[in-house]
Amino acid sequence: MGRIYRKPGFLRSLNQAWRGMMYTVKTQKHVQFHLFAGSAVLLLAWWSEVTRLEWLILILAIGSVIGAEVMNSAIETVVDMVQPNFHPLAGMAKDIAAGAVLVTAIQAVVIGFVVFLPPLLRLASKMF
């Protein structure tokens, strides 16, 4: 008789997700960079005294970039597993996943300019 599959409980699923995130943070330089950049943006937001809505938009942008980078890492891992030798389609799949990260990163930069440029211009006008 076959084994009955049981779904893992919530805490086990949460632990597996945490383990995956920690592995990604430890092994992926781009994730480390985005975490550093996101932290710097949050410090700048605190210093700039942005509004609650601006905080939410910045947090969403940072989370989108990091989430896209984590998904990119997962896709690259699976592609490497199923196609360890070079194959043009495997390379294209990895490039497309990286492109998704690029889209979210560009979006985050634009959001950063929209949020931070006015207060920085006001500060500059007071200084000069």
Q: Looking at residue 31, which CATH number applies to its domain? A: 1.10.287.3610
Query: Is residue 71 a part of any domain in this protein?
Result: yes
The binding site consists of 47-50, 69, 76, 94-95
Residue 1 inside a domain? The answer is no
Annotated binding site for substrate: 47-50, 69
Residue 8, pLDDT score: 75
In a domain, 19, yes or no: yes
The answer to whether 72 and 101 have CB atoms below 8 angstroms apart is yes
For the chain, the domain total comes to 1
Residue 5 lies in a domain: no
What residues are labeled active site? Answer: 69
Domain span at 63: 10-127
Residue 33 domain-assigned (yes or no): yes
Annotated binding site for ATP: 76, 94-95
Question: Which regions in the chain score pLDDT beneath 50?
Answer: none
Predicted confidence at residue 4, as pLDDT, reads 73
Report the pLDDT value the prediction gives residue 81, as an integer from 0 to 100. Answer: 95
Distance CA 11, CA 16 (A): 9
CA-to-CA distance for 56 and 115, rounded, in angstroms?
11
Please check whether residue 70 lies inside any domain of the structure: yes
Closest CA to 111 of 45, 18, 43: 45
Q: Which two structure tokens, joined as six digits, stand for 61?
A: 């942008």
> The whole model's pTM is what?
0.85
What is the structure's pLDDT at 123? 83
